[in-house]
């Protein structure tokens, strides 16, 4: 049943302590089926049994054609969306069976998010945005640490500006500073460079790499093969399944993998619509 296990078939070797290493992110048979509004018996299988294990400190890019289930995979692994079937464990804790409030508390302590549209709060300054997750988690950062995080991404002098006063690249760096300040053990990023020009995108990728080097587990969805080439491992999605994975750093090779995921004999590249025949 672990047909798409990656690298779940290579069990984690003993860690430095001699104990088996627990993957930071682990999914088994993860499935997400959406109802189609207005079509009572039609459903979209966005995620069709994905299994994977991501070691602590790994930097994984999730690529694949549009509609292949990349965002759904990220959101269900992060516990932002409920899986229809299967299991997800983060840092050895199964989140799929956790009560919603407990899951939210766990998330706010251990998981950070970077999204294409930054998810900054328009009415708050950059520094206030950076300290917001810690406030929600009930242990607010001092202004000093919020400004230090902004300084680390070169934005100390923008601490008191609001998102509309910042460029797209600066906003995304605020989002990165926000993640860095709360020091989560796992970061999920969905198209973090999607709205940025090349050089702003490079800055964001450099910071994601740096987080991984410091031991944070980074999972990044991207359609940009150059961005994917900055990760340690590339997971290729196709039709809701994990079609391939690779450790290549070659953008052209990643483009080939995405292309062959787009035109498979089976499964179909489009998420199949069930019950709609
Ligand atoms: P990707 O991020 O790879 O472009 P998504 O994970 O966003 O793909 O979507 C996978 C499939 O699931 C698509 O066919 C999409 O239309 C469908 N889908 C995603 N979210 C929903 C939703 N909330 N309701 C219904 N269908 C959805
Ligand atoms: Mg998406």
Question: What confidence score (pLDDT) does residue 148 get?
Answer: 92
> Taking a C-beta distance cutoff of 8 angstroms, is the pair 26, 54 a contact?
yes
Probe residue for ligand 1, chosen from 67, 75, 81, 267 as the CB with the greatest number of ligand atoms within 8 Å: 67
Question: What confidence score (pLDDT) does residue 204 get?
Answer: 86
Residue 211's nearest CA partner among 232, 196, 191, 225 is 232
pTM of the complete model: 0.86
Measured CA to CA, the distance from residue 125 to residue 133 in angstroms comes to 14
Query: Is the distance from the beta carbon of residue 67 to the nearest atom of ligand 1 less than 6 Å?
Result: yes
Of how many residues is the chain composed? Answer: 277
| DSSP-assigned letters across all residues of 137-196 | TT-PPPHHHHHHHHHHTT-GGGTT--GGGS-HHHHHHHHHHHHHHH--SEEEEESTTTTS
Query: What protein residues have CB closer than 5 angstroms to ion ligand 2?
Result: 71
> Taking a C-beta distance cutoff of 8 angstroms, is the pair 228, 249 a contact?
no
Question: What confidence score (pLDDT) does residue 154 get?
Answer: 87
**For 156-205, how does the pLDDT look when each residue is reduced to its tens digit (9 = 90+)?**
999 999 999 999 889 988 998 998 888 899 999 999 888 788 888 888 89
Question: What confidence score (pLDDT) does residue 263 get?
Answer: 65
Measured CA to CA, the distance from residue 237 to residue 148 in angstroms comes to 37
Local mean pLDDT, 10-residue blocks, the chain (277 residues): 39 53 95 88 92 96 95 94 95 94 90 83 93 83 91 91 92 89 91 84 89 94 95 96 94 95 58 45
Question: What confidence score (pLDDT) does residue 11 get?
Answer: 43
Instruction: Compute the distance from residue 46 Cα to the ligand 1 centre, in Å.
Output: 6
Query: Is the distance from the beta carbon of residue 46 to the nearest atom of ligand 1 less than 6 Å?
Result: yes
Q: How many CB atoms lie within 10 A of CB 184?
A: 20
Question: What confidence score (pLDDT) does residue 38 get?
Answer: 82
| SS3 of residue 209 by DSSP | helix
């Amino acid at each position: 049943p672990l047909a798409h296990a990656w690298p779940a078939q290579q069990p984690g070797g003993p860690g430095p302590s001699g104990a088996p290493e627990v993957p930071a992110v682990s999914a088994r048979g993860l499935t997400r089926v959406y109802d189609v509004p207005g079509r009572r018996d039609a459903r979209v299988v966005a995620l069709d049994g994905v299994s994977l294990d991501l070691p602590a400190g790994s930097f994984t890019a999730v690529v694949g054609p549009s509609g292949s289930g990349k965002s759904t995979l990220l959101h269900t692994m992060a516990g932002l969306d409920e899986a229809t079937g299967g299991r997800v464990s983060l840092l050895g804790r199964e989140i799929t069976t956790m009560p919603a409030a407990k899951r939210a508390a766990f998330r706010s302590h251990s998981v950070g998010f970077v999204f294409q549209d930054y998810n900054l709060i328009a009415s708050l300054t950059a520094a206030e945005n950076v300290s917001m997750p810690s406030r929600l988690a009930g242990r607010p950062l001092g202004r000093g640490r919020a400004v230090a995080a902004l300084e680390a991404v070169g934005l100390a002098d923008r601490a008191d500006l609001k998102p509309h006063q910042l460029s797209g690249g600066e906003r995304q760096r605020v989002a990165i500073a926000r993640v860095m300040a709360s020091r989560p053990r796992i970061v999920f990023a969905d198209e973090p460079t999607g709205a940025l020009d090349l050089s702003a995108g490079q800055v964001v990728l450099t910071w994601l790499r740096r987080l991984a080097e410091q031991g944070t587990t980074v999972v990044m969805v991207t359609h940009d093969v150059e961005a994917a080439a900055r990760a340690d491992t590339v997971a290729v999605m196709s039709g809701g399944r994990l079609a391939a994975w690779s450790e290549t750093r070659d953008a052209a090779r990643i483009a080939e993998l995405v292309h062959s995921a787009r035109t498979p004999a089976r499964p179909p590249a489009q998420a199949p619509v069930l019950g709609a025949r």
